Amino acid sequence: MEKHGFGTTCGTVYVASRLIADTDQIFSPGAIVVSDGKVLMVGCKSDVLGSVPASFTVREFPGAVMLPGLVNAHTHLQIPRDIDGGKHGDRRPEDFTGWLLQMIRWRLRSDPSTFSRIFRRGAEEALSFGTTAVGEIAGPDISCYESCQLRARVFVEGIGFSPEAAPMQQEAIREIVLRLEKISKDNPLVFSGLSPHTLYTVGEELLRRLVILYKVMSLPVCLHLAESKAEIEFLEHGRGEFATRLYPEVGQDVSWFCGIGMPIPTYLEKMGLLRKGLLLVHNVHLSTEEINVLNEGGARFVLCPRSNRAHGNGVPDVTHFVDSGIPFAIGTDSLGSVDDLNLWQEIRYVRSLYEGRLRENELCGVLMRAATVNGAAALSLPGGSLFTGAPADFVLVDDPGGDDAGIYRRLLDRTERANVRMTVVAGLVAHGKGA
């Protein structure tokens, strides 16, 4: 057995009509060998089957494509589709400020016992679409991550605009991070992170304290940024909807705030945030120059255009990200903003926003990379591609046919939930036959 290079007597071989190891490597037919949650071998079906010990189980999936699991780089799995189950007759408001206020009211009146159920349903939905990893903004119930079946970077969120709130918020966030890190020891799929919510909900004093915290604890950081025009107006001048409506309705006086007094990239650099490990979500109202400066400073980007559209906030400059070669990831945001956690649909919408000259097949390859390799890298998570030693996070979907050259376009055109046969995370079937 050792002559085959396998140091174990048990494992599973998954065989498919087509295997996409990453966006640059396709085997038709292909196979991977999985043991103890890791990929032991990747290659052509004949090479793999000729190498594995006879004791390994072989599972064949004719008419299927096997590919790295999708990475939903930004979501909130403890926010439900129907706020409060519709008990209060809530409907999504037409404007973004109204939606924020609705979310605040829902959070305050929610029964704490419901969050784990909401999370479980959200995670199951994500898995059913072939998602294996997420960038999750931590909800109120940290304990639900103990049984999380998704590979997850869980960002503990901090909110507090007034200087007086900063010390208490800092300590509360630190305690939650420590709780999450204890959970990570028992559930190796879970990784901790830190999220100052936004620049309009995290004041300078709290932001400074959170920067110190993330440096001491060596945590990746996620920040919602430039999502709405109201945000930009508030950051530039301290005026607009957030100053006259959002904060007054939650009982906070922000009349003292006159804006950050500098461009956003300069402010992030001044605060010590602009460095490798900073993940910026939304990025709708950034100029191309600002995007370039942030990219050069080490930031990574997540685009969630369906959410942006739903709130009337515009959409990110997909063409600039693609044509400039700036790596970006893709996220759905929460079910409070979008109809489903269908990352295939999110990718299709990103594709529809592209106005450059890249050919369709090449564009689809770029977008599939955004939803796999780039997503994992943005979250500082293992995965995103299938190679020896990588985590066995993959999905099996119906093969749309045709040659390898146009496989990504056809996958995007034809894959829906019904086409997802199986989702595997760390070598365990989390959705589909055998789950």
In whole angstroms, what is the distance from residue 361 CA to residue 366 CA? 9
Query: How much of the chain exceeds pLDDT 70, in percent?
Result: 96
Q: What is the rounded average pLDDT of the residues 257-278?
A: 96
- Nearest C-alpha neighbor of 166 from the set 122, 208, 220: 208
Domain ranges in the chain are 2-69+386-432, 70-378
In angstroms and rounded to an integer, the radius of gyration of the C-alpha atoms of the chain is 22
Average pLDDT for the chain: 94
**pLDDT of residue 88 exceeding 60:** no
**pLDDT of residue 3 exceeding 80:** no
Q: Taking a C-beta distance cutoff of 8 angstroms, is the pair 36, 8 a contact?
A: yes
Q: What is the rounded average pLDDT of the residues 19-39?
A: 95
Tell the CATH superfamily of the 2-69+386-432 domain: Urease, subunit C, domain 1 (2.30.40.10)
Q: What is the rounded average pLDDT of the residues 346-364?
A: 97
- Which pairs count as long-range contacts for 311-314, CB under 8 Å and 24+ apart, including other chains? 311/95, 311/96, 311/99, 311/227, 311/228, 311/337, 312/94, 312/95, 312/96, 313/96, 313/227, 313/228, 313/229, 313/282, 313/284, 313/285, 314/229, 314/284, 314/285
Phi first, then psi, for residue 397 (nearest 5°) are -130, 165
Q: What is the rounded average pLDDT of the residues 92-112?
A: 90
Query: Could you tell me the pLDDT band of residue 2, with boundaries at 50, 70 and 90?
Result: very low
Residue with tokens 């920067």: 211
Query: Could you tell me the pLDDT band of residue 23, with boundaries at 50, 70 and 90?
Result: confident
In whole angstroms, what is the distance from residue 383 CA to residue 244 CA? 45
Q: Taking a C-beta distance cutoff of 8 angstroms, is the pair 170, 430 a contact?
A: no
Q: What is the dihedral of CA 159, 160, 161, 163, to 10 degrees?
A: -150
Residue with tokens 């294996």: 132
Domain 70-378, classified CATH 3.20.20.140, yes or no: yes
Q: What is the pLDDT of residues 121-133, one digit of tens each?
A: 999 999 999 999 9
Phi first, then psi, for residue 239 (nearest 5°) are -120, 180
Phi first, then psi, for residue 306 (nearest 5°) are -65, -40
**pLDDT of residue 214 exceeding 70:** yes
CB atoms inside a 10 Å sphere around CB 251: 6
Q: What is the pLDDT of residues 235-247, one digit of tens each?
A: 999 999 999 999 9
Query: Could you tell me the pLDDT band of residue 94, with boundaries at 50, 70 and 90?
Result: confident
